[in-house]
């Protein structure tokens, strides 16, 4: 009997150690990922090319493989629904950019091996503008599609 309880105590101790180690690893993983996510220089950029460059992409090249779903008209610029997807493999990041907003880059998604390059979100648009969807590839190429969205009531909040 004594032996069993000793064994259990030892087991609990091991489990505790594993749990704390896992927590530690998770913590490290989170912070390093989080730093990569908000790239201040890119989000402060005033042009599509600049933002793409700060996200690690080269000169942008138009590609029909990048699918951008955007409305022709947005009655209200405070919530414009956008979708971006591509079936290309080797996508590292997907960026959504609004050319005429005060800051061009709206959202940047890091495409891990566990997810598809397929995102949808809603953005604010201050005025009628071209919307860019850019895929930054593993080899640094930056492929894009763009579409003009006409905004009836701009969001001052862009």
Partner 1 sequence: MSEPSRIRAQFQGGKTTVRILMNHEMESGHRKDGSGKIVPSWFIQEVTIALNGKVVLDAGFGPSVSKNPYLLFVIKGGKAGDKLSLSWKDNRGQTRTDEASVA
**Which residues make up the interface to partner 1 (CB under 8 A)?**
22, 26, 29-30, 33-34, 36-39, 42-43, 78-81, 83, 98, 101-103, 105-110, 112, 114-116, 118-126, 155-158
3 state DSSP class of 44: coil
Closer to partner 1 by CB, 61 or 81: give it. 81
Question: Nearest to residue 132, comparing CAs of 82, 85, 88, 98?
Answer: 98
Burial class (CB in 10 A: 0-12, 13-18, 19+), 150: middle
* Torsional sign, CA 57, 59, 42, 104: negative
Closer to partner 1 by CB, 63 or 154: give it. 154
Closer to partner 1 by CB, 110 or 141: give it. 110
In the complex, least distance from residue 140 CB atom to partner 1, rounded to whole angstroms? 19
Closer to partner 1 by CB, 51 or 60: give it. 51
In the complex, least distance from residue 97 CB atom to partner 1, rounded to whole angstroms? 9
* Torsional sign, CA 32, 38, 44, 48: positive
Closer to partner 1 by CB, 9 or 26: give it. 26
In the complex, least distance from residue 125 CB atom to partner 1, rounded to whole angstroms? 8
In the complex, least distance from residue 112 CB atom to partner 1, rounded to whole angstroms? 5
Burial class (CB in 10 A: 0-12, 13-18, 19+), 95: buried
In the complex, least distance from residue 41 CB atom to partner 1, rounded to whole angstroms? 11
CA quadruple 43, 45, 51, 53: dihedral, nearest 10? -120
């Amino acid at each position: 009997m004594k032996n069993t309880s000793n064994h259990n105590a030892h087991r609990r101790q091991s489990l505790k150690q594993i749990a704390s180690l896992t927590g530690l690893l998770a913590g490290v993983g989170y912070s390093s990922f989080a730093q990569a996510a908000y790239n201040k220089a890119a989000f402060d950029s005033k042009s599509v090319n600049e933002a793409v460059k700060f996200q690690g992409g080269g000169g942008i090249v138009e590609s029909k493989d990048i699918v951008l779903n955007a409305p022709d008209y947005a009655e209200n610029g405070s919530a414009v629904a956008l979708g971006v997807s591509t079936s290309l493999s080797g996508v590292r990041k997907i960026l959504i950019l609004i050319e005429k907003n005060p800051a061009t880059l709206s959202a940047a998604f890091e495409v891990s091996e566990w997810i598809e390059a397929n995102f949808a979100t809603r953005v604010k648009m201050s005025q009628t503008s071209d919307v860019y969807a850019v895929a930054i590839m593993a080899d640094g190429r930056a492929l894009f599609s763009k579409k003009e969205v006409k905004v009836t009531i701009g969001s001052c909040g862009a």
